[in-house]
Amino acid sequence: MSNPLSLLQQRHSVPSRQLGEPGPDAATLATLLEAAIRVPDHGKLEPFRLILLQGQAKLDFGHRLAELSLRVNPHMADAKREKDRTRYDFAPLVIAVIARIDASSTVPVIEQQLSAGCVAYNLLLGAGALGFGAQWLTGWAAYNREATAILGLKDNEQVIGYVHIGTPQIDVPDRERPVLAEVVSTWTP
């Protein structure tokens, strides 16, 4: 019998620059997205939405962010400028995971953000289960309002992350993981 936790025990990110074609086809993507949105959702608010970035639109988005970055920081080093310009060039699919915050709800904002975060994590797990690689990134473009305006975000929305999905172009070694005894304790009164 196979280990039912092996997906979690072997989960790791593949650097976005090491993700290439092929990405998920339309049917596989629909299945992945349907699975990804099955998350804890206190109050059934659906405090998330997804924006797919693919093909030329993905490249255009990356170039618009690079232009904004240069405008905000005109003295940026050439290497940083190039990194910003090509950030979205590699993985065939990037999914912007958006938290939609309902400030009038009794559900705390952090729970709404965490629900959207679970969507991002489900995308990572689901991509891995389907044989793809993925990486969840944020960076300045997740927190800058001019950058999020490029995506058309409303005032009550924020980027939780950009999940890059594709086929790993290299074998990625696992990184050192936390020592269980250092992060687990038992509370006693």
Whether 180 maps to a domain, the answer reads no
- φ and ψ of 29, to 5 deg: -60, -45
Binding residues for FMN: 11-13, 38, 42, 136-138
Q: pLDDT-based confidence at 1, cuts 50/70/90?
A: low
Q: What is the CATH number of the domain that holds 97?
A: 3.40.109.10
Residue-wise pLDDT tens digits, 95-127 = 999 999 999 999 999 999 999 999 999 999 999
With tokens 């074609």, the residue in question is 21
Tell me the one-letter amino acid at 112. Answer: Q
pLDDT, position 14: 97
Q: pLDDT-based confidence at 152, cuts 50/70/90?
A: very high
- Who has greater pLDDT, 78 or 160? 160
Whether 33 maps to a domain, the answer reads yes
With tokens 């992350």, the residue in question is 161
Q: pLDDT-based confidence at 180, cuts 50/70/90?
A: very high
Whether 136 maps to a domain, the answer reads yes
Whether 176 maps to a domain, the answer reads no
Cut 0.85: pTM above it: yes
Q: Domains in the chain: how many in total?
A: 1
Whether 163 maps to a domain, the answer reads yes
Range of the domain at 144: 12-54+89-170
Whether 106 maps to a domain, the answer reads yes
User: Which is nearest to 126 in space by CA: 158, 103, 159, 95?
Assistant: 95
22, 82, 88 from 68: Cα distances, Å: 29, 13, 15
H or E element at residue 95: strand 93-100
Whether 188 maps to a domain, the answer reads no
Residue-wise pLDDT tens digits, 54-94 = 999 999 999 999 999 999 889 989 888 888 889 999 999 99
58 and 90 Cβ atoms separated by less than 8 Å: no
Binding residues: 11-13, 38, 42, 136-138
**Mean pLDDT of the chain, nearest integer:** 95
Percent of the residues in the chain that have a pLDDT greater than 90, as a whole number = 91
Contacts 24+ apart (CB under 8 A), 57-65: 58/88, 58/93, 58/94, 59/88, 59/89, 61/88, 61/150, 61/151, 62/86, 62/87, 62/88, 62/89, 64/150, 65/141, 65/147, 65/150
Q: Using CA atoms, how far apart are residues 156 and 101, in angstroms rounded to an integer? A: 5
> Helix and strand tally (H, E) in the chain?
7, 5
Whether 27 maps to a domain, the answer reads yes
pLDDT over 80 (residue 182): yes
